[in-house]
């Protein structure tokens, strides 16, 4: 299979037509081998308009959804970025072509080790994978210019917004109601954090951030 050609077709049919035409983001997609971040059995469909499970509880989103959230984050070349629930590391690899430094946060050694090996093999030296509690963020390394969340959530931990630098952005898809999510960016200004909505999406969810169910008698 010609992965380079498949990557070009993905960008031309799934990324650019969905209002993600920024040259820097398009270039990042064209230079990042999506097939390197999926299980061997799924490489043949790596560039299809599909969500692909990479490990239990982790998945690559459709290229369209990934592109739109990356665009919403407004990543700049000088930014320090934290990626929450980085999974196989595809989004980290993309963002490493846009930012100064990217830290990939995962909660188990196997994912962290696999990401580190993948980054080394691909020559991605602006990214590092670390182990930690997703809900806690990475306070020792804060503040961050951007925090990017790789799963849809129902709630946003206060730790995430508190670790944003002044003017920092939290890019995330929030579950609005059953079957509908909404891409949002939260921006810090002083002690306040404001939200701006961006696009509809329904990517795989991080169930650890579900709303607590109210007890009913």
Domains and CATH numbers, the chain: 3-209 (3.40.50.150)
Q: How many CA atoms lie within 13 A of 167 on its CB side?
A: 5
Number of CB atoms found within 10 A of residue 18's CB: 16
> Is pLDDT above 80 for 212?
no
Beta-carbon neighbour count of residue 150 at 10 Å? 29
Tens-place pLDDT, residues 24-62 = 999 999 999 999 999 999 999 999 999 999 999 999 999
Give the per-residue pLDDT at 56. Answer: 92
How is the beta sheet containing 180-189 ordered, strand by strand?
A: 127-131, 101-106, 80-84, 144-149, 164-177, 180-189, 192-201
Report the distance separating Cα 160 and Cα 143, nearest Å. Answer: 10
- Residue 36: closest CA among 127, 117, 106: 117
pLDDT in tens, 176-205: 888 789 999 999 999 999 999 999 999 999
Give the integer Cα–Cα distance in Å for 49 and 120.
27
pLDDT of residue 136: 97
Residue 7 backbone class (left: φ over 0; alpha: ψ -120 to 50; beta: rest): alpha
Backbone angles phi, psi at 121, to 5 degrees: -60, -30
pTM of the model: 0.94
CA 17 to chain centre: 20
Q: What is the pLDDT of residues 82-113, one digit of tens each?
A: 999 999 999 999 999 999 999 999 999 999 99
- Section 67-75 average pLDDT: 98
């Amino acid at each position: 299979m010609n992965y380079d050609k498949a990557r070009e077709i993905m960008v031309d049919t799934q990324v650019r037509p969905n209002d993600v035409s920024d040259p820097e983001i398009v270039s990042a997609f064209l230079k990042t081998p999506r097939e390197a971040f999926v299980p061997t059995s799924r490489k043949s469909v790596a560039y299809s308009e599909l969500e692909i499970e990479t490990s239990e509880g982790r998945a690559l989103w459709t290229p369209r959804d990934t592109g739109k959230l990356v665009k919403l984050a407004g990543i700049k070349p000088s930014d320090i970025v934290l990626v929450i629930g980085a999974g196989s590391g595809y989004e980290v690899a993309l963002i490493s072509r846009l930012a100064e430094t990217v830290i990939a946060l995962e909660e188990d050694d196997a994912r962290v080790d696999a990401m580190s090996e993948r980054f080394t093999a691909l020559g991605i030296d602006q990214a590092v994978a670390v182990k930690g509690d997703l809900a806690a963020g990475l306070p020792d390394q804060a503040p961050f210019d951007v925090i990017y969340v790789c799963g849809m959530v129902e709630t946003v931990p206060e730790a995430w917004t508190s670790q944003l630098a002044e003017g920092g952005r939290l890019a995330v898809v929030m579950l609005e109601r059953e079957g509908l999510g909404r891409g949002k960016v939260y921006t810090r200004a002083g002690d306040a954090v404001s939200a701006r909505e961006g696009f509809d999406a329904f990517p795989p969810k991080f169930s650890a951030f579900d709303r607590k169910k109210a007890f009913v008698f």
